[in-house]
């Protein structure tokens, strides 16, 4: 399974020199520590933190030799080693690089864990994640830099900090709570409309409400968004 392009921080906006991956480059810490590393280097650092925290939560730090692993937002040798363990365990090409194949697999698992306690299909949340970020926890909206993290929460509108938006545990908590609220709100007019409006509310709550009120999508933009999310959900 080869790594492929995602969007946001691992396209051109947040990575060093337009790199599309998180990786340890030329023995230098890929940590977003200096402004010259890219126009949104903070997102790289926060994305690495999310990857490290996910791997530690899965117990991969226990397979390293030496001192306890430090979650520091630096993509160093030990982080790369944990990524290789994860890739080998999950039949992903072992490279030590986190691109969209590894990222979406890693955070798909977290969605499965969170989704176990909800009454809706967590595949819809997975579809939103892929549509919004491609599974990159350091994603930044290409044209909307206030949109951050796995679910591209609008940090300019909502009371969510950059750090929270890029933290996969906070992001999952917030996303599942948001979808659960929509799932209860848009009931009573059939399952298909309920699914469509629950997905639409993440992108455009006003359009979601109109869709539910009149039974038809208010425009092709939100209809296309929901269609793409549902297609991604089918791959869950």
Please indicate, yes or no, if residue 234 is contained in any of the structural domains. no
Centroid of chain to Cα 100: 10
Please indicate, yes or no, if residue 29 is contained in any of the structural domains. yes
Please indicate, yes or no, if residue 3 is contained in any of the structural domains. no
The helix (H) or strand (E) run that includes residue 87 is helix 77-89
pLDDT, tens digit, 9 for 90 and up, residues 84-141:
999 999 999 998 888 888 999 999 999 999 999 999 999 999 999 999 988 999 888 8
How far from 169 is each of 4, 49, 80, 166, 225, CA to CA, in Å? 24, 11, 21, 9, 25
Paired with 148 in beta bridges are: 140, 153
Please indicate whether residue 145 or residue 33 has the higher confidence score (pLDDT).
145
Please indicate, yes or no, if residue 105 is contained in any of the structural domains. yes
Residue 25 has pLDDT above 90, yes or no: no
Residue among 39, 36, 32, 35 at smallest CA distance from 13: 39
Query: In this structure, what is the dihedral angle of CA atoms 68, 72, 75, 80, given to the nearest 10 degrees?
Result: 20
Residue among 86, 25, 20, 27 at smallest CA distance from 52: 86
Residue 191 has pLDDT above 80, yes or no: yes
Please indicate, yes or no, if residue 116 is contained in any of the structural domains. yes
Q: Which residues constitute the domain of residue 142? A: 8-185
Rg (CA), the chain: 18
* pLDDT average, residue stretch 7-30: 49
Q: What six digits make up the tokens of 129? A: 């994640």
Residue 63 has pLDDT above 80, yes or no: yes
Residue 19 has pLDDT above 80, yes or no: no
- Report the SS3 class of residue 98: strand
For position 40, what pLDDT does the model report?
61
User: Of the ranges 25-39, 44-58, 131-145, which one carries the lowest mean pLDDT score?
Assistant: 25-39
Please indicate whether residue 46 or residue 222 has the higher confidence score (pLDDT).
222
Residue 180 has pLDDT above 90, yes or no: yes
Please indicate, yes or no, if residue 68 is contained in any of the structural domains. yes
Tell me the pTM. 0.89
d(CA 24, CA 103): 16
Contact 211, 200 (CB under 8 A): yes
Mean pLDDT of the chain: 86
For position 74, what pLDDT does the model report?
82
Number of domains in the chain: 1
């Amino acid at each position: 399974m080869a790594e492929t392009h995602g969007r946001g921080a691992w396209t051109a906006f947040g990575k060093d020199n337009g790199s599309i991956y998180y990786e340890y480059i030329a023995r230098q810490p890929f940590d977003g520590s200096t402004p010259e590393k890219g126009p949104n280097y903070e997102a790289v650092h926060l994305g690495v933190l999310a990857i490290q925290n996910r791997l530690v939560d899965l117990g991969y730090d226990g397979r390293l030799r030496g001192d306890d692993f430090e979650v520091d937002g630096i993509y160093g040798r030990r982080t790369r080693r944990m990524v290789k363990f994860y890739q080998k365990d999950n039949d992903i090409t072992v490279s030590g690089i986190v691109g969209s194949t590894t990222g979406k697999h890693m955070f798909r698992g977290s969605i499965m864990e969170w989704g176990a306690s909800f009454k809706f299909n967590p595949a819809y949340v997975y579809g939103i994640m892929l549509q919004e970020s491609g599974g990159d926890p350091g994603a930044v909206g290409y044209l909307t830099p206030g949109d951050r993290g796995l679910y591209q929460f609008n940090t300019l509108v909502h009371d969510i900090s950059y750090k929270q938006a890029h933290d996969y545990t906070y992001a999952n908590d917030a996303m599942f709570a948001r979808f659960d609220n929509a799932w209860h709100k848009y009931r009573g007019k059939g399952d298909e409309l309920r699914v469509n409006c629950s997905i639409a509310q993440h992108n455009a709550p006003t359009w979601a409400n109109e869709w539910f009120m009149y039974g038809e999508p208010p425009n092709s933009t939100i209809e296309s968004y929901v269609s793409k999310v549902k297609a991604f959900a089918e791959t869950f």
